[in-house]
């Protein structure tokens, strides 16, 4: 009976060790061979340092010697320069130079000439740093006569102004991470901010004028707050003060759908070519790349300048929703053309200028090892007394801290844990075989002694 129990224990141990080898091997294989995680996981990018390199060089070298910067397909910084000596400076600084014909000063002068021309609703222009051109686009609402007149203005500026027609209409995306509603329509909450005394939602300016009252549900039973400041047209931002002055728990998180969120750790400035994410209550989490900066859009309601142009899609109701990358807040959704079935162009209001104008700062999560900035507020009761998060507050972040041991071990990106499981299983398998060999040797000696004693 004792020998039978030993055989069962050894068999179970061997099976467990073999199972561990299979699990560990699967973990390592999936971590190495799998595709990058999709939008269902917390999105991350790796462009913060390199985009800062390009921006710093452009700022230091000046508008007469440079013409913008972008990230190449591998995420490396590229700076457009106008001469060979500037190219050498850029190369020594660790970036790749691209010699171009026209400086930023010339591109800016072309944009100023376009702004001075008679306004044509349905048109937009932005700097294409890679092509060293100013690109003018006209949507389907622009008449042939208006387009012809604008083309004449562009030809008078020079051959570095490119004219393009686009499908759809350039409209604000009124009606998008958590929905907020008023008599003006439905928008998305953007980022939570504070002036040191009260807390606010920073969203799009076209969502509603100062004095607009916002609610967090369709029936109007829970008042979120009131618009207290904003700018549109010209800019596209506004400030909604919470009804009780506080954002509540999770004020540093933006919702990305499925009960998940991304913690915001700071304020950033985008670079052309950078991968970015946008969240809105109509179309959810979407990603794409920055295609141009300092864009001007002639909406039917008025002209907005200084926008970020992207190929991320958006739909009505996404207005004011947050755009971010690697935990850094970049902008709020302004408008665009197209939809998320056919794609399109979407413009965003950059945050730094808006926040400076409003005198507010982000409510953010402190980085590891860093001192906290504007700390999230303590929990606050909502208007309906149900304890639900306010619209500017997203769902809690899910991830390693909130997951089970099994989900952590089976995460396809965990190469290290997979190797540990493989090593432990090998040790266990070797140990069981050694124990069995020792037991067999002892049994043989006892048998030999009994036979020849």
What pLDDT, in 10s, does the model give residues 397-414? 333 233 333 444 444 445
From 102, 188, 206, 365, active-site residue: 206
- Over residues 74-107, the pLDDT tens digits come to 889 999 999 999 999 999 999 999 999 999 999 9
By DSSP bridging, strand 322-325 and strand 328-339 are antiparallel
- Residues 421-447: tens digit of each pLDDT: 667 766 666 666 666 666 665 655 555
DSSP-H helix ranges across 239-302: none
Q: What is the pTM of this model?
A: 0.71
Helix (H, G, I), strand (E, B) or coil at 196: coil
- Average pLDDT over the chain reads 78
- Per-residue tokens: 16: 């467990």
Active site includes 319?
yes
Residue 321, pLDDT above cutoff 50: yes
> Is 3 one of the catalytic residues?
no
Q: In which order are the strands placed within the sheet that holds 179-182?
A: 185-188, 179-182, 213-215, 223-231, 237-242, 199-203, 191-194, 361-362
- CA gap 428, 18 in Å, rounded: 9
Query: Residue 282: pLDDT band by 50, 70, 90 thresholds?
Result: confident
pLDDT at 6: 61
Structural contact between residues 312 and 286, judged by C-beta atoms closer than 8 angstroms:
yes
**How many angstroms separate the CA atoms of 412 and 305, rounded?**
44
pLDDT reading at 295 higher than 80 = yes
User: Tens digits of per-residue pLDDT, 323-375?
Assistant: 999 999 999 999 998 889 988 899 999 999 999 999 999 998 765 444 444 43
Active-site residue, from 139, 235, 236, 287: 236
Q: Over the stretch 378-400, which tens digit does the pLDDT of each residue have?
A: 222 223 333 333 344 433 433 32
- Percentage of residues in the chain having pLDDT higher than 70: 66
Q: Rounded distance, CA 203 to CA 298, Å?
A: 20
Q: Alpha-carbon distance 246 to 192, whole Å?
A: 10
Among 188, 238, 279, 319, the one annotated catalytic: 319
Q: From the CB of residue 118, how many other CB atoms can be counted at a distance below 10 Å? A: 8
pLDDT of residue 366: 65
140 included as an active-site residue? no
Element (H, E) at 254: strand 253-257
Residue 452 has pLDDT above 80, yes or no: no
Residue showing tokens 């920073």? 202
Q: What is the pLDDT of residue 302?
A: 94
The pLDDT value recorded for residue 399 is 32
Strand 237-242 to strand 223-231: parallel, antiparallel, or no bridges (unpaired)?
antiparallel
Confidence label for 119 from pLDDT (cuts 50, 70 and 90): very high
pLDDT band at 17 (very low <50, low <70, confident <90, very high): low
């Amino acid at each position: 009976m004792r020998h039978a129990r030993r055989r069962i224990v050894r068999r179970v141990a061997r099976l467990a060790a073999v199972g561990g080898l299979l699990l560990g091997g699967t973990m390592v294989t999936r971590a190495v061979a799998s595709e990058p995680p999709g939008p269902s996981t917390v999105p991350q990018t790796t462009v913060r340092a390199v985009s800062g390199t390009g921006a710093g060089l452009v700022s230091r070298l000046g508008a007469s010697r440079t013409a913008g910067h972008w990230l190449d397909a591998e995420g490396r910084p590229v700076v457009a320069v106008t001469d060979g000596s500037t190219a050498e400076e850029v190369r020594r600084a660790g970036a790749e130079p691209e010699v171009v014909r026209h400086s930023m000063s010339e591109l800016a002068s072309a944009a100023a000439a376009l702004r001075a021309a008679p306004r044509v609703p349905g048109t937009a222009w932005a700097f294409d740093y890679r092509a060293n051109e100013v690109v003018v686009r006209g949507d389907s609402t622009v008449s042939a006569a208006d387009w012809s007149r604008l083309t004449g203005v562009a030809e008078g500026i020079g051959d570095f102004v490119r004219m393009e027609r686009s499908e759809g209409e350039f409209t604000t995306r009124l009606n998008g991470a958590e929905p907020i509603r008023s008599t003006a329509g439905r928008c998305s909450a953007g980022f939570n901010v504070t002036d040191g005394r009260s807390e606010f939602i920073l969203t799009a300016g076209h969502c509603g004028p100062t004095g607009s009252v916002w609610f967090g549900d369709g029936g109007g039973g829970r008042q979120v707050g009131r618009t207290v400041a904003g700018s549109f047209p010209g800019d596209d931002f506004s400030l909604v003060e919470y009804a009780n002055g506080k954002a509540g728990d999770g004020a540093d998180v933006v919702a990305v759908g499925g009960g998940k969120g991304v913690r915001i750790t700071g304020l950033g400035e985008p670079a052309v070519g950078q991968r970015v994410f946008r969240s809105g209550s109509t179309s959810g989490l979407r990603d794409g790349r920055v295609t141009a900066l300092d864009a001007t859009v002639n909406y039917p309601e008025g002209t907005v300048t200084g926008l970020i142009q992207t190929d991320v899609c958006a739909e009505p109701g996404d207005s004011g929703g947050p755009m971010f990358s690697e935990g850094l807040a970049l902008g709020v959704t302004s408008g665009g053309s197209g939809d998320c079935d056919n794609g399109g162009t979407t413009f965003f209001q950059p945050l730094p200028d808006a926040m400076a104008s409003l005198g507010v700062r982000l409510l953010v999560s402190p980085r590891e090892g860093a001192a906290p900035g504007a700390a999230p507020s303590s929990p606050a009761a909502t208007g309906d007394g149900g304890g639900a998060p306010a619209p500017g507050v997203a769902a809690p972040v899910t991830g390693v801290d909130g997951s089970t041991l099994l989900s952590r071990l089976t995460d396809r990106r965990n190469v290290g844990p997979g190797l540990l499981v493989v090593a432990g299983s090998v040790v266990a398998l070797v140990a069981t075989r050694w124990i069995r060999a020792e037991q067999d040797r002892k049994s043989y000696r006892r048998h030999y002694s009994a036979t020849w004693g």
